[in-house]
Structure 1
Amino acid sequence: MKRWLDKAETAIGNHSDRINAINIFPVADGDTGTNLYLTVRAAARALQGTAPGNTDAGQTDVGACLAAAGQAAMEQARGNSGTLFSVFLCAAAEPLTGHLRLTSALLAAALNRAQIRAWSALSDPVPGTMLSVMEAAARAAAAVDAGKNGDDSNHALGLALDAVVEGALAAVVRTEGQLDALQAAHVVDAGGVGMLLILDCLRSAVLGVELQSELLDGLHGYDVQDPHIHTSLPDDDGVEVMCTISLSPLNAATLRQRLDEIGDSVIMSQVGNAADPDGSYRWRVHVHVAEAEPAVRLIRSLGEPSHITVSELALPRDPEADPVGSNGYER
């Protein structure tokens, strides 16, 4: 798991500019690569040093390790893509808890749990995005596992990982025809490409092989000489608001409903499984709205948020820029 996330941090970092270049859905703000990189980096750095979940024998619980990475990613998630990836990690960790190694069956269970949770985190999920890539990867792993009748060998795991990447690649290619915006621009989905790279990093880390250098060859819009598609499209008005907040189940449902009424791209996902003494759970919240203040007032009416960030959708985010914008919130 540590090797996987280290590889993913490097790979997404190397490809972030090209991923940004084709980022036009759900908004053409050209930051999917950057957001995904910063979120993967948070996950990778959470596993540096002492590994979480060590057993008495000194071995590491795979699920506990991944859960720690997922929670760090969730707390520092950036944008739609980063938030969905952090949901993916947290959910994938659950079937792996208590296990000391990965098998074909566990991989299939983890990917299935992850894609279901990611789809459900969005109020209005659509195919043709990284969600479709997650789903295709899960289906591919399940098909191999079903054909192996519980074979827990490394050979079966290798076959499953090969199928996962092949399925994810096919899903990325299909994204162009699933969304009108992508079809008009003749590009594949940026988040989908990022997810494909992350899954190839998993295959590489587990099997001890190199990343597949030709994997992205021929993807529409992904050649180095292709233009930055998003720069030729109209700027999107509005802002992206993100925060972490403790909510009762009723208040969480209320917040999702009311955010759906005033904005879009609403993502809400629980951070961890433990309730506080008042019966509330921590949630990561993401929404696109016309103006920040009404959304922030709504959120504060239901609890006390932390790590509130407000970013203009029309401007690419610079992670090294002044962390506080003119509106007084963190960028």
Structure 2
Amino acid sequence: MLDTLDATAVRTWCRLALTALGQAREEIDALNVYPVPDGDTGTNLYLTVEAATEAVESAVAAGPGAPDGLGAVTAAMARGALVGARGNSGVILAQWLRGLAEGLAAGGDAATLRKALPRAADAAYQAVADPVEGTLLTVAAAAARAAADEDGTLADTARTACLAARSALRHTPEQLAVLAEAGVVDAGGRGLVAVLGALADTVLGHTPMGPVALRQEFTLPAPDPHDACEGHARQPGHPAFEVIYLLEADDAALPALRSRLSALGDSLVVGGGDGLWNVHVHVDDAGAAVEAGVEAGRPYRIGITHFAEAAARAGRGADRPETAAAGRAVLSVVSGEGLAELCAQAGSAVLPADPDRPPVSAELADAVRRCGAREVVLLLNDPELRAAAGAAADQLREEGLRIAVLPTRSPVQGLAALAVHDSSRRFDEDVVAMTSAAGATRHAELAVAEGESWTMAGVCQAGDVLGLIDGDVAVIGTDPLGTAGTVLSRMLAAGGELVTLVLGADAPDALADELVALARRQRPEVDTVVYRGGQEEALLLIGVE
């Protein structure tokens, strides 16, 4: 339990908030009926916090001279969120983070947090041209009021703010008729509860309060997001376009900009400060909205979405006709030169992964685009990438690409999927075959413990060799050979036809020979193949098919 927030705590909070939003992304998308029922609030919030998290990681990892104080790291978080904000809810959340960062610049104790949360709520309200209750703003205000009335520890303050936000979210349908009609709570408010839950978890050291505890409590029957999009496209009098851009402009230019954009449309949110702003508005005349930005300063990263076209693309979805001209590619995310070469030999494009910095959704989307194909199968080979890949896939589908994300949990499952890939089959048939091959491959790995920790197999100490089977620690040993032998024996006890061994960069030379001999003794009928993968995060990867 923390007594004060510091740079490390902010880094942990960002990571936990990203995880919470990743787990709840599809749920929040389904809740999205206001201000536009386009089913993307969860994705937009995830991308916004992903940008904030990436900015914090970059600030911390910048080396000598990198900002390590609370104020510097929270400022990096706020700027990252501002630059990467997506959609109405993302810009509001970015402004909330900016207000919080400004409040925490004075310190990270309980008293400062009690003042920072009201400042964050005020900043969010000020960013919205026409604030509406029953939204993220209402949830932020409730958390702020509760925190201001709290006189306990930092943990008390964080917990109180989160619980107040949850309570306010529960009542949002009573404040906004469109929510009551759809039978849902506010999507943006649900996202803020996840973020505040991650803050409470950071301070308390508990399981994140948002994604699991609230799923049954707040997920009510909601319209299908695709149907909602189509419904919006038919609504008379509703603006046809979403326009969003970053704007470099003097503070003095903002009043005129807000006035002009308010006259052009609705859902206007302008967040930022110090010469950099994120502008979001719904209009019928997208060109006029951009021109308003040109008159105020220098707009860039301009994004224009036509709601009707976006709905049509979403409606086509997986029913898009397949043509030979479309082309198909497979993209594998792996670390280690040997693994990358194996995937390339099997016909896959490769996105090299840094084990210390997993690729974010924008990097995954760019790698898919570089494949140059209209149909792409994405092999993640790491369960931690599922949320980022889901957000990237949503962006790519809006661009007309057909993409299937296979949530392979290990590179050995990815290799099994590649072995049955056949681009001459229909896309769906190919995806099913690859998914079946990956699912039929049990996987294990050997890793070295970095510190003392509780595991499914007991307590491990720094330097212990851990044998993980299907993601859970099953064996704790003192040497690689003995631990690997125990793991492989357990896996072979359930049968199999092929054993795949992928040696890591630090794997002992004798490891492969010992395991091949063990497999022959225990299961003479099983074939064994050995590869040098070169991965740094695991001494050994094992696959049994």
Normalization by structure 1: what TM-score? 0.84
User: How many angstroms apart in 2 are the aligned matches of 1:198 and 1:285?
Assistant: 23
1:301 correspondence with 2:303 = no
Partner residue of 1:87? 95
Structure 1 unmatched runs, 5+: 149-155, 274-280, 325-331
Find the counterpart in structure 2 of residue 31 from structure 1. Answer: 40
Q: Secondary structure at the match of 1:287?
A: strand
Show the 5 A alignment for 1:250-265.
250-265=252-267
Matched, 1:122 2:163: no
Secondary structure at 1:205 match in 2: helix
Pick which of 314-323 and 284-293 moved more. Answer: 314-323
Task: Give the AA of the match of 2:216.
Answer: D
Q: Classify the secondary structure of the residue corresponding to 2:304.
A: strand
**Cα pair 2:11 2:56 within 8 Å, conserved:** yes
- Give the deviation of 1:207 after TM superposition: 1.5
Distance 1:187 1:218 in 2: 11
Secondary structure in 2 matching 1:200: helix
Higher strand content, 1 or 2:
2
In the other structure, the counterpart of 1:329 is none
1:268-311, Cα deviation, whole Å (9 max, x unpaired):
1233x3xxxxxxx2222111111311211222233221111112
Q: Aligned partners of 1:170 and 1:229: how far apart in 2?
A: 26
Please point out which of 176, 180, 194 is paired with 2:177. 180
The answer on 1:106 being equivalent to 2:112 is yes
How far did 1:109 drift?
1.2
Q: Is structure 2 residue 81 aligned with structure 1 residue 66?
A: no
1:96 counterpart residue number: 104
Output one character per residue of 1:98-142: Cα deviation in whole Å (capped at 9) or x when no partner. Answer: 53xx22211111111100010011110111000111111111111
- Give distance in 2, aligned partners of 1:98 and 1:214: 32
The 1:299–1:289 alpha-carbon spacing in structure 2 relative to 1, beyond 3 Å, is same
Identity of aligned residues (%): 36
Q: How many pairs were matched up? A: 301
Cα distance in 2 for residues equivalent to 1:253 and 1:260: 11
Q: Tell me, what secondary structure is at the counterpart of 1:127?
A: coil
- Distance in 2 (CA, whole Å) between partners of 1:96 and 1:187 is 33
Is 1:192 matched up with 2:186? no
Are the structure 2 counterparts of residues 71 and 48 from structure 1 closer, same or farther at C-alpha, using a change threshold of 3 Å?
Answer: same
* 2:327 alignment partner in structure 1: none
2:217 is equivalent to residue 218 of structure 1: yes
- Residue matched to 1:244: 246
- 2:395 corresponds to which letter in structure 1? P
**How far apart, in 1, do the equivalents of 2:142 and 2:62 lie?**
30
**Could you say which residue in structure 2 is the equivalent of 1:78?**
86
CA contact 2:130–2:268 (8 Å) conserved in 1: yes
TM-score by length of structure 2 reads 0.52
3-state SS in 2 of match to 1:214: coil
Matched, 1:320 2:396: yes
Unaligned runs of 5+ in 2: 1-9, 234-238, 315-393, 401-545
Q: Is the 8 A contact 2:121 2:144 kept in 1?
A: yes
* Distance in structure 1 (CA, Å) of the matches to 2:251 and 2:208: 42
- Which structure has the larger Rg? 2
Farther off after superposition, 178-187 or 299-308: 299-308
CA distance in 2, matches of 1:68, 1:323: 30
| Greater relative contact order (CA < 8 Å, ≥ 6 in sequence) | 1
Output the CA distance in 2 between the equivalents of 1:249 and 1:258.
15
Q: CA deviation at 1:50?
A: 4.5
Q: What corresponds to 1:270 in structure 2?
A: 272
